[in-house]
Amino acid sequence: MIQLTKKRTVDDINRKIENGDANIYTAEEFKKLIKKDSAPGFDEVDVVTCGTCGVMSGTAAILNFIVAEPGEFIRASEVYMNGVPAYAGPCPNEWLGSVDVILHGTAHSIYDESYGGGFLLKEILEGKSVDVRVESADGKTIENTITKADITRAQIIGARMAFKNYTAFTNPGREPVKSIFSAVPLEGNLRGLTFSGCGDLNPLQNDIPHNVIRQGSRVLLNGAVGYVLGDGTRSSAEKPNLMLSADLCQMDPYYLGGFKTGQGGEVYDTVAVPIPVLNEEIYNNLLITDDEIDLPVADIKGRHLPLDSTDYGRMWTDHDLRPQYDRTKCGTCEKCTVEEICPTNAFSAERLNLAYCFGCGMCANYCRHDAFEMNTGSVDLTINDRNVNVPIICRQSDRLRANKLSMKLKNMIENKVFRL
């Protein structure tokens, strides 16, 4: 057995950063070098910035904003923001005209279940107007309109984020199945596979076990500097995730938003975490690549009943991160399928908004006129003694956003505005 002896401290690395001598890579840069058999050695790597982006159902926001003059109502009992219920409290703010609310990223509008907390949070960050209705404890209804400028304080609390382990899903049954793990009801007879996870870019995948990602660690959450509060709910040694927090109003709307699923609106977030390479064990953990990361495939109706397994190399290697749209192929559909099912509302009026696009692949797999070209791949599986090739039809994680936030974090460290 080789004894691991080389070590350095965070202070050592911070000094190198201060002097402009640190070697910093994004996970994407580092993994590309590994795959070319030209990875720098332990002595040549100080920090690797890792990232992940995907649907993260544990997202909630605590907000305070003014809706009326002081004395107009005693306290809020129910609050709706663009029809999305926001739970009043924990502070009653008696007679102050302001409300504290907890908004769930997975809460659905009472008018449209495909619109929910994730879409609402993005619109707040974009500066759009939000209609607020308050039902007060003294029987009054207060209606007002607010923007981000009217919010005095807002904090995101992610109860479980940046999962290390995920499961891919397919449907071996006959009937379509509605699920949060698919953008539309997943068709039967193994017609498609949906999955989550950024594979070898994921922070927790690169830090096994938690050698450096611990309570108090600084991270970027949707572009804002935040902190690890500890392990997330349902976290375990085998399937870890994180509880994170950051200032909502400091976030970039590009990295946060809504994602429509078969069970209504969900929310996606983007997380980037620096991994300081303090010893050879940490360095060796960074050497893992997509093809070495197992991904179980389960029945979407059974959830935890594995049918077969694959790996993240099959999910991401040589596949496109964004579609190519050819407007000339757009047919004269009475109702556009892509506009209806696009999880992030990136396609509307025959225009593709790449700032909203998530790279999920739904457009390429469902457009009736092949106006979208995108290689999302397929995977060979053996299910019930049957060999099948199942197309990957929906990705609920976005490596492009993960890469971009990892690069932003790298630049912040190099420019000495983010200290380890």
Percent of the residues in the chain that have a pLDDT greater than 90, as a whole number:
93
For residue 355, is it within any domain? no
For residue 240, is it within any domain? no
For residue 354, is it within any domain? no
pLDDT of residue 2: 47
Summarize the confidence of residues 96-122 as an average pLDDT.
97
For residue 232, is it within any domain? no
For residue 218, is it within any domain? no
- Greater confidence (249 vs 334) lies with 249
Q: What span, in angstroms and rounded, lies between the C-alpha atoms of 128 and 297?
A: 40
Q: Total domain count for the chain?
A: 1
- Print the domain residue range for 109: 59-157
Residue 219: band (very low, low, confident or very high) from pLDDT cuts 50, 70, 90: very high
Residue 29 Cα to chain centre, angstroms: 21
pLDDT tens for 194-209 read 999 999 999 999 998 8
pLDDT at residue 224 tops 90: yes
pLDDT of residue 332: 74
Summarize the confidence of residues 370-375 as an average pLDDT.
96
pLDDT tens for 110-166 read 999 999 999 999 999 999 999 999 999 999 999 999 999 999 999 999 999 999 989
pLDDT of residue 40: 96
Q: What is the mean pLDDT of the chain?
A: 95
Summarize the confidence of residues 88-117 as an average pLDDT.
96
pLDDT tens for 2-38 read 455 688 999 999 999 999 999 999 999 999 999 999 9
pLDDT tens for 33-77 read 999 999 999 999 999 999 999 999 999 999 999 999 999 999 999
Q: What span, in angstroms and rounded, lies between the C-alpha atoms of 8 and 162?
A: 27
Residue 259: band (very low, low, confident or very high) from pLDDT cuts 50, 70, 90: very high
What global pTM score does this model have?
A: 0.96
For residue 79, is it within any domain? yes
For residue 84, is it within any domain? yes
**405 contact partners, CB below 8 Å, separation of at least 6:** 51, 53, 220, 223, 255, 270, 271, 272
Beta bridge partners of 379: 390
pLDDT of residue 250: 98
**3 contact partners, CB below 8 Å, separation of at least 6:** none
Q: What span, in angstroms and rounded, lies between the C-alpha atoms of 63 and 178?
A: 31
pLDDT tens for 291-337 read 999 999 999 997 777 899 999 999 999 999 999 999 999 877 888 99
Give burial (CB, 10 Å; 0-12/13-18/19+) of 294.
exposed
For residue 114, is it within any domain? yes
pLDDT of residue 80: 98
CA angle 84, 87, 93 (to 5 degrees): 125
228 in Cβ contact with 213 (< 8 Å) = yes
pLDDT at residue 1 tops 60: no
Q: Which of 166, 54, 50, 169 is nearest to 105 (CA)?
A: 54
